[in-house]
Amino acid sequence: MSEQDDILRQTAKVLTLRYMENLNQSDIAKQLGLSTAKVNRVIKQAHDDGLVEITLNLPQERTHTLEQRMLDAFGLKTAVIQPSLSKDESVVTRQVAKAAGELLIETVKPDSVICISGGKTMAQIVEEIKPMSFPNVRVVPATGGIQGHHFTDVNYLASRLAEKLGGSSTQLHAPLFVDTDEQRSILMEMRSIKEVLDLARSADIALVGVGSVASESDSYYDLRSLSGHQAETVISAQCKGEVLAHLYDEDGNKCAEHINQKLIGLNLQELNNIEHSIGVAATHSKVDALVAALKGRLMNGIVSDEDTVARVLELIK
């Protein structure tokens, strides 16, 4: 047996004793005739080499009181609220994304059509979903795409989600933003685009991110800049949020329509017409956008976190 084989065998023994038999490092050292420092180095190296994966199967307790208050306050069909177990926003967002994925699996039927938005939140949701087998499910983009951010692009995410669900996807070969009303009219009447958007309009489920537009660091402005458009002061001054890149004001009504009218995709009324229209928003940065979206009844389902929802409910008193 080679020296490398000896090292791997020793590592396997240490990891088995630590993580399967729950021995502490001191007991492992005694059992294997090693120093405690050596055991510690082996475990650390195993983590660095990707030999150890830690999965926390925490109880996904929904905060039922907050959920019921959201259902009552906004006439929602569905509200899934995750406990805020961390102050790290990336952890909270990941937990909410996992809950959104679980809700999607609970809602989907064998022949469902699902339309989705692009973006970072959607990318996390797709990542959290475990492989399933829904061979007749179809996933379709609800909007055009953005060049430059492949892993958050709506076409890539539709394809990836379909792969996770064991179904199929349809691609929308069109930009998210266009320069003129004329360009939009031409594109929206193109057969290849019209057929995809008609399929999205007939979806059983829509899963979309709820975005803030309060700061130029928000993802919406990144989409605008990647499309060759400059940020406009009217957006942050008059608008409270965006869904499917459509801007809306504090009451969930249309805002900055001269910008919205240059989008390729479903509009907010078409989103609202879908049987299960689920918005996903996590962390305090999304509070104002979420309040306005809920006031405007832009969707009939929501997935969020406990702290964010508590603040939403405070603001609508």
Looking at residues 240-268, what average pLDDT do you find? 95
Least confident of 41-45, 154-158, 200-204: 41-45
What is the reported pLDDT for 234? 67
Does pLDDT of 142 surpass 90? yes
Residue 30 neighbours by CB under 8 Å, 6+ apart: none
Average pLDDT, the chain: 91
Least confident of 42-46, 120-124, 216-220, 231-235: 231-235
Vertex 296 angle, CA 202 and 144, to 5°: 45
Looking at residues 5-21, what average pLDDT do you find? 87
What is the reported pLDDT for 72? 96
Q: Which band of pLDDT confidence, cut at 50, 70 and 90, is reported for residue 235?
A: confident
Widest CA span in the chain: 78
Q: What gap in Å lies between CA 234 and CA 218, rounded to an integer?
A: 15
Looking at residues 257-274, what average pLDDT do you find? 95
What is the reported pLDDT for 217? 81
Instruction: Find out whether 208 and 142 touch, Cβ atoms under 8 Å.
Output: yes
What is the reported pLDDT for 202? 97
What is the reported pLDDT for 286? 96
Residue 92 neighbours by CB under 8 Å, 6+ apart: 82, 84, 85, 86, 282, 283, 305, 307
Q: Which band of pLDDT confidence, cut at 50, 70 and 90, is reported for residue 146?
A: confident
Q: What digits encode the pLDDT tens for the residues 27-74?
A: 999 999 999 999 999 999 999 988 888 776 655 555 789 999 999 999
Q: Which band of pLDDT confidence, cut at 50, 70 and 90, is reported for residue 85?
A: confident
Q: Which band of pLDDT confidence, cut at 50, 70 and 90, is reported for residue 212?
A: very high
Q: What gap in Å lies between CA 142 and CA 203, rounded to an integer?
A: 10
Q: What gap in Å lies between CA 111 and CA 109, rounded to an integer?
A: 6
* Joined tokens for residue 57: 């199967």
What is the reported pLDDT for 150? 80
What proportion of the chain, given as a percentage, has pLDDT over 70? 94
What is the reported pLDDT for 76? 97
Q: What digits encode the pLDDT tens for the residues 121-131?
A: 999 999 999 99
Looking at residues 65-86, what average pLDDT do you find? 93
What is the reported pLDDT for 225? 61
* Nearest residue to 245 (alpha-carbon basis) of 174, 195, 189, 311: 174
What is the reported pLDDT for 185? 96
What is the reported pLDDT for 54? 76
Does pLDDT of 228 surpass 60? no
What is the reported pLDDT for 53? 83
Does pLDDT of 231 surpass 60? no
Least confident of 55-64, 203-212, 255-264, 287-296: 55-64
What is the reported pLDDT for 190? 97
Least confident of 174-178, 226-230, 278-282: 226-230
